[in-house]
Amino acid sequence: PPLDNIINLHDFENVAKIVLPEKAWAYYSSASDDEITIRENRMAYQRVWWRPRILRDVSSVDWSTTILGQKSTLPVYISATALGKLGHPDGELCLTRAAANHGVIQMIATLASCSFDDIIDAAAPGQVFFLQLYVNRDREITRKYVQHAEKRGVKGLFITVDAPQLGRREKDMRMKHVDDDAGAEVQKGQDGVKKDQGVARAISSFIDPSLSWKDIPWFKSITKMPIILKGIGSAEDAVLAYEAGVQGIVLSNHGGRQLDTARSGIEVLVEVVTALRLRGYFPDPKFEIYVDGGVRRASDVLKAIALGAKAVGVGRPFLYAFCAYGQEGVEKAIQIFRDEFEMNMRLLGARTIDEVVPDMVDASSLKSH
Ligand code: FNR
């Protein structure tokens, strides 16, 4: 279907399912075990209801914000998704070019198909990037990678902490024998490839399962970039992260791809904010909370913001957008978000992101633990 027929983010998924090779669809769309968490990621947002405010002169509304002090035209960043070339020959560069045109921040995946330098070389002047880090068993490789990223201007280091081992994504595992270039290219410098268990497992065997809280000071010693822990799922770990002195956390279950029946980010947000507030850790402008997983509408984003998130990560919708339509698809996805932010903020009675407050949601279905 022509791009003009796309009217919401779900549409990209439906098109991607048709146009993608079977193996790419299996890798991108799969989630772990019984795929309960990936479903819950959508459903949790549907249990949160609005309490809108009226008569507030919403003739002009502004949904721009900052993320880690960096300007962003949307309270949304493009989250890291690996192996973009399985779905489009230009891979992650589709995201980079679209993000440049619209002032959106892209998080580059350790396992991106395009090399880190190819992505940075394609950047517009001043374009902002974050880096998603899988920590290598060989810390020298990780140190060099991180320091190179910092030198090339990356503004935030998102260390993935929910993947000491990759989840069993059974749809993906049924596609044995990795023989594609997209997978081969990312392996440069990351040793230990197994080729018989689906794409995800094949490319991830270098990840260090011994990673622990004791390693955080080391990361702080090798970089001045803000450090964010991606993949927090409980208030206890949010408190430990704050006390470890990192600059932020992503409440995430990896798009349902890791621990199945882990709760959704929006559900975890409520208990995290409660626990941090209790200790005087929230609000703190030097510690930002992000949420990802299942965000398909500006309304979802605004709910997370109302409940205390600074911004929200979006994975599959941008991925599917470029698989189906390349860079143009990603630009369209961003445009859809913009239109939805305008409408939702008007109907909600919030002129700026700061005016999206807890009283605007009925989150009584989300327990605070
Ligand atoms: C991911 N995600 C991910 N996260 C990460 O830290 N490192 C990675 O390499 C990847 N790779 C990856 C590949 C694919 C195909 C998907 C769908 C996801 C997780 C991603 O950053 C984010 O947490 C989720 O995608 C958010 O959920 P939604 O927006 O996809 O529902």
Nearest CA to ligand 1 atom 24: 255
Is 187 a residue whose pLDDT tops 60? no
Q: What is the pLDDT of residue 183?
A: 52
Active-site residue (options: 45, 88, 145, 162): 162
| 45 or 172, which is more confident | 45
Active-site residue (options: 254, 290, 292, 320): 254
Distance 30 CA to ligand 1 centre (A): 11
Distance 128 CA to ligand 1 centre (A): 19
Q: What is the pLDDT of residue 188?
A: 53
At which residue do the structure tokens 């995430």 appear? 252
> Tens digit of pLDDT for each residue in 15-65?
999 999 999 999 999 999 999 999 999 999 999 999 999 999 999 999 999
Q: What is the pLDDT of residue 203?
A: 77
Nearest CA to ligand 1 atom 12: 81
Distance 159 CA to ligand 1 centre (A): 13
Is 102 marked active-site?
A: no
Q: What is the pLDDT of residue 193?
A: 46
Nearest CA to ligand 1 atom 3: 81
**Residue 284, Cα to own-chain centre: how many angstroms?**
22
> Tens digit of pLDDT for each residue in 266-315?
999 999 999 999 999 999 999 999 999 999 999 999 999 999 999 999 99
Nearest CA to ligand 1 atom 15: 28
Phi, psi of 312 (to 5 degrees): -135, 140
Q: What is the pLDDT of residue 368?
A: 65
- Mean of pLDDT values over 345-361: 98
Instruction: Choose the residue to mutate in 88, 131, 254 for probing ligand 1, maximizing ligand atoms within 8 Å of C-beta.
Output: 254
C-beta separation of 163 from 231 below 8 A: yes
Tally of residues, the chain: 369
Bridge pairing between strands 49-50 and 311-314: unpaired
- Among left, alpha and beta (phi > 0; psi -120 to 50; other), residue 121 is alpha
3-state secondary structure the chain: CCHHHCCCHHHHHHHHHHHCCHHHHHHHHCCCCCCHHHHHHHHHHHCCEECCCCCCCCCCCECCEEECCEEECCCEEECCCCCHHHCCCCCCHHHHHHHHHHCCCEEECCCCCCCHHHHHHCCCCCCCEEEEECCECCHHHHHHHHHHHHHCCCCCEEEECCCCCCCCCHHHHCCCCCCCHHHHHCCCCCCCCCCCCHHHHHHCCCECCCCCHHHHHHHHHHCCCCEEEEEECCHHHHHHHHHCCCCEEEECCHHHCCCCCCCCHHHHHHHHHHHHHHCCCCCCCCCEEEEECCCCCHHHHHHHHHCCCCEEEECHHHHHHHHHHHHHHHHHHHHHHHHHHHHHHHHHCCCEHHHCCHHHEECCCCCCC
Q: What is the pLDDT of residue 135?
A: 97
Is 254 marked active-site?
A: yes
User: Residue 352's beta-bridge partner residues?
Assistant: 62
Distance 23 CA to ligand 1 centre (A): 17
* Stated pTM of the model: 0.96
Question: Which one-letter amino acid corresponds to residue 269?
Answer: L
| 17 or 185, which is more confident | 17
Distance 50 CA to ligand 1 centre (A): 28
- Mean of pLDDT values over 240-246: 98
The model's confidence at residue 202, banded by pLDDT at 50, 70 and 90, is confident
| Angle, vertex CA 305, rays to CA 345 and CA 8, nearest 5 | 55
Q: What is the pLDDT of residue 192?
A: 46
Q: What is the pLDDT of residue 352?
A: 98
Report how far apart, in Å, the C-alpha atoms of 118 and of each of 88, 108, 126, 234 are.
Answer: 16, 11, 16, 36
C-beta separation of 108 from 137 below 8 A: no
Cβ of 252 less than 6 Å from ligand 1: yes
The token duo for 141 is 């490789």
Distance 286 CA to ligand 1 centre (A): 25
At which residue do the structure tokens 């000491």 appear? 164
Cβ of 315 less than 6 Å from ligand 1: yes
C-beta separation of 140 from 3 below 8 A: no
Nearest CA to ligand 1 atom 13: 81
> Tens digit of pLDDT for each residue in 174-183?
886 555 555 5
Return mean pLDDT, the chain.
Answer: 94
> Tens digit of pLDDT for each residue in 80-122?
999 999 999 999 999 999 999 999 999 999 999 999 999 999 9
> Tens digit of pLDDT for each residue in 126-168?
999 999 999 999 999 999 999 999 999 999 999 999 999 999 9
As for the ipTM of the complex, it is: 0.99
| 173 or 341, which is more confident | 341
Q: Kindly give the number of the ligand 1 atom that is closest to the alpha carbon of 255.
A: 27
Is 118 marked active-site?
A: no
- List the single range of 46-50, 139-143, 193-197, 215-219 with lowest mean pLDDT: 193-197
